[in-house]
A and B are shown apart, each in its own frame.
Chain A
Amino acid sequence: MRVSRIVTLLVLCTALAAQAVDVKGPRGSFTLKDETHNGRAGFCAEQLASALKGTLSRDEVSKYPVLSLNGHRILLSTASALASVDGKIVRLQGAPSQKGGCLWLPEDFLSSVLPQVLSGPITLTNKPVAPSPVEPKAGPTAEPKAGGAGKSEPVTLEAVVASDSVRITLLGGGASRAEVSQVAKEVAVTLTDSVFSGGVPEVGKGIVGSVAVESGGKRLRITLGPGFKRLESAKLKNPDRLVLLFQGEGQRLAPVPPAPAASPPGATAAPAAALTPPPAEAPKKTAAFDTVVLDPGHGGSDTGAISAEGMQEKNLTLVLAVKTAALLEKEGLKVVLTRNTDLQVPLTQRTAIANYNRADLLVSIHLNASPVPSARGTETYYMSREATDLWSTQLAAKENAAGPEAGVSPSEGGLDMVLWEMAQTSVLVESAALAEIVQQEFNTLLGINDRGVRQAPFAVLEGAQMPAVLVEVAFLSNPTEAKRLADPSFQDQVASTLVKSILNFKARYDLPQASQPTP
């Protein structure tokens, strides 16, 4: 008796888990089997690659999974919920994960990435895979069958905001039975047997103008902003939810700050250096990848490391940066140096210079030192995730505690924090790839074993809104490497290696963007 109950339960669980998503788009339709992972709906990347005649491989340098679909390159990371679609960052609801022989992707990948890949709107419809006597006809407009449970469960709202999209998710039993209608510049979502509960998320302005709950909590009214281009919606299950994806351009969470350059919240603004007089308007981007900021480490009274012969790190980093800049300019790139003389520039200001110039890359050049004289080789660092997570959490708690008495409303502070956190997170994947490229190029140059790419919360990398790395080229504390660093021909080789790394990165991340039509 007990065994039969268990078997019945197992069969029931299997049937419930065996869901599928019908995807209809410009290139036809296909079905993906739902693979639930840690309670979250998703699917195998291999299945998607097969359905779209694409490939799933590994990036040669970073070893991250790469999904090639319809001529588009999607770089994924099992350590991050961020994906890079042709060099453009997209945030997923969860990080991809290796599940047996399957690279599991969260279900929202379909709504947030696939329309870009298929160059057109898609329709998603959930349906059970197992044969069922009441199986609904699946089709582009067919609604999933309403579950019996949770008919009166309140619906909550979540929003994910990016500059080119706003994703509003209605979560709860009633969400999948909501009716969506669009009239002119207004979208209405009406709940048939439930009400909205909780707050309305802040989404800013641009693509979406405002979000409000009306009619006693039964109706959500979303006004569309001037940046709006198209709306896609998907009704999904496990959990029940309705995803509205508003696409366009120019969504902003907060008013444009008067400060020319972004820096992490809480960072004290440094006085402008002579090198960076504050112009009235920030430089405008002219191409997908055209500006590199080179940061010669240390300067002024901060000498950095000193070799046994008295060579100072600050002087050598400046020489290396100037030589690298000259070579990059020959390649047609605009180069900004955080200092071009023996000047002490605060670390936060170096990052601000890169942000202000809307650089595509920030490379901070340093020379290493160790108490172990035999230590040698290159180390490449990028920002630490652990540290930024901690700081974001602490900042949010601080701002929440400060409240209106501090002159900053919790929502304003929270938005700053969210923006900063997003900026940090979004560059991490590509910073890692850049670091790998730089490290490999220098390993080849110096002919040494790999010291490895490392992560640490370096001040100059913190708050950088572009891929950013700090390169410790070689050890001034190692007599052999110090001697080489003093040699102008070796300095030229270091500069060439940096240029090669940067151009390699540019080639890998710039071309797909450049080939996209300008909006």
Chain B
Amino acid sequence: MTCPKLPSQRPERILLWVAVLLVAMVACRRGARAPAPSAVEPAGSQEAHAVQRVLYYPAGEDALLAECPVFMSSSGQVQADMSDLLKRYLVGPPGSGQALPFPERCALRAVFLVDGQAVVDLTGPVRSGGGSSTETSRVYGIVQTLQSNFPEVKSVRILVDGQEVDTLMGHLDLSHPLVQEPRLLIRRARSAPGDAR
């Protein structure tokens, strides 16, 4: 599967892997010289580490969602990681020139998890534009991204400026929580030949 911006993806990914490798080598060297962990250091401390996440962006004319893997640091805390992930999501897929699912001034106000339901509070012109295609891409890009990366997330509720909304653009019902829709994903069989994964 590919990021929506396929041509610029492979060099980026190679650079990313090289960077990860270098970081790992440095960490190993430092680890070899470092003293043994002290007894007072809490076991399993929340040290940030790199993890691979998958973002879902609308791709091409049909606007189905395509996977876009990225490496991010993780604190190990779901809420903080969800927040980091969504902030990264709103920046858009790697590569320039790609149309963003959300307008640039959209931002995340908050995200939290309650009984398996992730509540995502957005702000900015999230309701601008129109069309089922745009609305579906925006909403399900977030739903799919959260549910794919965090098994704890069983459903997603979207708020705008802290308020419950019935719909973003007059189509999707947002008065209820949503779950991922597999039919809105690009099927693997349709991935581009240059897929690096």
**What residues make up the interface of A, taking CB atoms closer than 8 Å to B?**
297-298, 302-306, 313, 347, 366-372, 374-377, 379, 381, 384, 386-387, 390-391, 394, 451-452, 454-460, 462, 470, 472, 475-477
Contacts and interface: CB of A to CB of B under 8 A. Distances in A.
Given A297-B170, A347-B166, A371-B101, A379 B184 contact: no
B134 A371 contact: yes
A367 B179 contact: no
B155 A456 contact: no
A313 B183 contact: no
Contacts of B133: 368-370, 375, 379, 472, 475
Contacts of B68: none
A371 B99 contact: yes
Contacts of B60: 372
Interface string B55-75: 000101111000000000000
Interface in B82-101: 99-101
Q: Which 4 A-B residue pairs are closest in the complex by CB-CB distance?
A: A305-B130, A369-B131, A371-B99, A459-B173
Interface of B: 58, 60-63, 99-101, 129-134, 136-137, 140, 155, 166-167, 169-173, 175-181, 183-184
Contacts of A304: 130-131, 169-170
A390 B177 contact: yes
A298 B131 contact: no
Nearest to B62: A451
Given A371-B134, A372-B99, A451-B62, A457 B166 contact: no
B178 A387 contact: yes
A265 to B, nearest CB: 12
Contact of B132 (A377, A386, A391, A472): A472
Given A372-B61, A451-B62, A455-B181, A390 B132 contact: no
Contact of B172 (A298, A303, A374, A457): A457
A368 B176 contact: no
Given A297-B170, A302-B170, A386 B131 contact: no
Contacts, number: 116
B184 A456 contact: yes
21 contacts: A304-B130, A347-B166, A366-B131, A369-B130, A369-B133, A370-B133, A372-B61, A375-B61, A375-B62, A386-B181, A390-B177, A454-B183, A455-B183, A456-B132, A457-B173, A457-B176, A459-B172, A462-B173, A472-B131, A475-B131, A477-B131
A381 B181 CA distance: 13
B134 A452 contact: no
Contacts of B169: 304
A369 B136 contact: no
> What is the interface of chain B mostly: helix, strand, loop, or mixed?
loop
Given A371-B101, A372-B61, A459-B166, A379 B173 contact: no
A384 B140 CA distance: 13
A368 B172 contact: no
Given A297-B170, A366-B171, A391-B176, A384 B130 contact: no
Contacts of A452: 62
Given A456-B132, A458-B132, A298 B177 contact: no
A458 B131 CA distance: 12
A386 B176 CA distance: 12
Centre residue among A297, A457, A458, A460 by max chain B CB count within 10 A: A457
A303 B184 CA distance: 26
Contacts of B131: 304-305, 313, 366-370, 472, 475-477
Given A347-B167, A367-B131, A368-B132, A386 B179 contact: yes
Contact of A459 (B99, B129, B134, B167): B167
B21 to A, nearest CB: 35
Contacts of A367: 131
B166 to A, nearest CB: 7
B65 to A, nearest CB: 12
A361 to B, nearest CB: 19
Contacts of B134: 368-371
Nearest to B139: A456
A454 B132 CA distance: 11
Contact of B181 (A347, A374, A384, A476): A384
B63 A375 contact: yes
A310 to B, nearest CB: 13
B6 to A, nearest CB: 14
Contacts of A377: 61
Contacts of A306: 130
Centre residue among B100, B133, B167 by max chain A CB count within 10 A: B133
B124 to A, nearest CB: 15
A472 B176 CA distance: 23
A303 B131 CA distance: 11
Contacts of A477: 131
Nearest to A297: B170
Contacts of B129: 305, 369, 371
Centre residue among B61, B169, B181 by max chain A CB count within 10 A: B61
Nearest to B102: A371
Given A455-B183, A472-B131, 15 more contacts: A298-B170, A304-B130, A366-B132, A370-B131, A370-B137, A376-B61, A386-B180, A386-B181, A387-B176, A390-B178, A390-B179, A391-B176, A454-B183, A457-B172, A457-B176
